[in-house]
């Protein structure tokens, strides 16, 4: 199902993909209010960098978006949104899907960190 995005979200996605900048959690929430109140986002306040990989072979466009996330702890990870059906692809859809996947990666980081601390493997 294709999501509907606002003009402001479309412009933001193009800005984020076209420039080598880090985008703060607060900027993300201001453009995608449906993410407001996300526990992991609010807790870790990640920064995001977005990039579009080039098309491959006979593709007209690569519909995936790479998202590098960085936490204040120094943890950094890169995820790639799953390629979307070309007819359904929009920059803002790719950026939003990348954010969703980055939040899942933060969830994995949080779970492992919590386990390691609770197990006594490292100090708090």
Give residue 49's pLDDT.
94
Q: How confident is the model at residue 77 (pLDDT cuts 50, 70, 90)?
A: confident
Taking the CB of residue 110, how many other CB atoms lie within 10 A of it?
Answer: 16
Query: What mean pLDDT do residues 62-82 have?
Result: 83
Q: Would you state the structure tokens that stand for residue 88, as one six-digit string?
A: 């359904």
Q: How confident is the model at residue 10 (pLDDT cuts 50, 70, 90)?
A: very high
Spatial distance between the Cα atoms of 96 and 62, rounded to a whole number of angstroms: 16
Spatial distance between the Cα atoms of 34 and 62, rounded to a whole number of angstroms: 26
Instruction: Give the global pTM.
Output: 0.77
pLDDT surpassing 80 at residue 61: no
Mean pLDDT estimate for the chain: 83
Residues whose CB is less than 8 angstroms from the CB of residue 98 and which lie 6 or more positions away in sequence, other chains included: 48, 50, 65, 66, 67, 79, 80, 81
């Amino acid at each position: 199902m294709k999501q509907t995005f606002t003009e402001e979200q479309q412009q933001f996605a193009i800005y984020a993909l076209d420039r080598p900048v880090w985008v703060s959690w607060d900027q993300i929430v201001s453009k995608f209010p449906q993410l407001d109140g996300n526990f992991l986002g609010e807790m870790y306040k990640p920064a995001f960098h977005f990039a579009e990989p080039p098309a491959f072979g006979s593709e007209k466009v690569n519909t995936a978006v790479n998202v590098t996330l960085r936490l204040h702890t120094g943890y950094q990870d890169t995820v790639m949104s799953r390629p979307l059906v070309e007819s359904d692809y929009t920059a803002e859809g790719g950026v939003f899907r990348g954010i969703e996947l980055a939040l899942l990666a933060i969830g994995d980081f949080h779970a492992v960190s919590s386990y390691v601390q609770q197990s006594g493997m490292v100090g708090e």
